[in-house]
Amino acid sequence: MKVIITGATGFVGEGVLLSCLQRPDVDRVLSVSRRPCEITHPKLEEYIVEDFMTLPHDDPKLQGYDACFFCAGKSNIGMSREAYFHLSYEITIHFAKAIGAHPSFTFIYLSGAGTSEKSMQFWSRTKAKTESDLRKMPFRASYGFRPAGMKPVKGQRRLQGWGKYHWLFTWIPGFANTIEDVTEAMIRCASEGYDKPIVGVKDINRIVRNSRKA
In this structure, the number of other CB atoms found within 10 A of the CB of residue 8 comes to 28
Which residues are CB-neighbours of 49 under 8 A, at least 6 positions away? 32, 33, 34, 55
Phi, psi (rounded to 5 degrees) for 30: -110, 115
| pTM listed for this prediction | 0.92
Positive or negative CA dihedral for 36, 97, 4, 205?
positive
42, pLDDT greater than 60: yes
Find the helix or strand (DSSP H, E) in which 200 lies: strand 198-200
Which tens digit of pLDDT belongs to each residue from 149-161? Answer: 788 888 777 775 5
Which tens digit of pLDDT belongs to each residue from 169-213? Answer: 554 555 678 899 999 999 999 999 999 999 999 999 999 999 887
What CA–CA distance (Å, rounded) separates 103 from 46?
25
What CA–CA distance (Å, rounded) separates 209 from 1?
21
Sorted by where each begins, the domain ranges of the chain are 2-213
Contact 188, 211 (CB under 8 A): yes
- Please give the distance of CA 186 from its chain centroid, rounded to a whole number: 8
Which residues are CB-neighbours of 120 under 8 A, at least 6 positions away? none
**Angle value at C-alpha 120, between 72 and 198, nearest 5 degrees:** 50
Q: CATH classification of 2-213, choosing from 3.40.50.720, 3.30.300.100, 1.10.10.10, 3.30.310.50?
A: 3.40.50.720
Strands 198-200, 149-151: pairing is: unpaired
Positive or negative CA dihedral for 161, 163, 128, 137?
positive
pLDDT of the residue at 160 = 59
- Across the chain, mean pLDDT equals 91
